[in-house]
Amino acid sequence: MLIIAGLGNPESRYLKNRHNAGFMVVDAIARAHGFSPWREKFQAAVCEGLVQTIAGPKKALLMKPLTYYNNSGLAVRAAAEFYRIGPEAVTVFHDELDLAPGKFRLKAGGGHGGNNGIRSIAAHLSPDIRRGRIGIGHPGDKNLVTNYVLSDFPKADLVWFEALTDAIVRSFPLLAGGEYDGFQTRVTHLAPAPGGNGET
């Protein structure tokens, strides 16, 4: 079993926020790959499916923690303990202030970089999860960060975000099959970041 979690906040008023990029990505994966209907378990909305990979079908659980962003680790740990899997089988998609808008990086382990959702998962489960970092850019002043991440994607940003989401969805079998470099390469090829791939 693989666990693929998206980070976000559950209330409808947060639906299109930058901070809900992870929720939006796993929603798109579920639709495109024929996962089961969403239901509540592990303090999360979850659905299951089989992903066809080169190595054969892989069973995956998609998760949207309902604990709110900063306590995401509670839900992810509950699922990991239930399925008796380690952090190497967990991938988390989330928004990333430290990457330019539209840039995507798959990373295993490392620090939380000030992201409270990743901080929570590291504390409750392990820092050694795999992270799908979706660049949203930085507002330029740390005092503006909260309002920035809790604001909806503007229409101009939805162009690159929807292209990136589609690229992740189309490349998902590579991720599920453990072809991590191939997944990163294909996502970047299908949806290059606008204005280049430089970090902020």
pLDDT tens, 25-77? 999 999 999 999 999 999 999 999 999 888 889 999 999 999 999 999 999 99
**Res 62: pLDDT:** 97
- What sections of the chain are H helices per DSSP? 21-32, 72-83, 116-124, 145-149, 155-176, 180-190
Instruction: With a cut of 50, say whether residue 197 has pLDDT above it.
Output: no
Q: Could you tell me which of 6, 118, 20, 21 has the C-alpha nearest to residue 62?
A: 6
**Res 115: pLDDT:** 75
**Res 111: pLDDT:** 67
Between CA 86 and CA 156 the distance in angstroms is: 39
Instruction: With a cut of 60, say whether residue 163 has pLDDT above it.
Output: yes
| 19 a catalytic residue | yes
- Confidence band (pLDDT; 50, 70, 90) for 140? confident
Helix/strand/coil for 111: coil
Q: Could you tell me which of 90, 93, 106, 89 has the C-alpha nearest to residue 186?
A: 106
β-strands 2-6, 39-41: how paired?
unpaired
Buried b (16+ CB within 10 A) or exposed e, 171-189: bbbbbbbebeeebbebbbe
Q: Could you tell me which of 200, 76, 78 has the C-alpha nearest to residue 127?
A: 76
Q: Which of 19, 94, 138, 189 is catalytic?
A: 19
* Average of per-residue pLDDT values in the chain: 91
What is the CATH topology of the domain spanning 2-190?
Rossmann fold (3.40.50)
- Confidence band (pLDDT; 50, 70, 90) for 117? confident
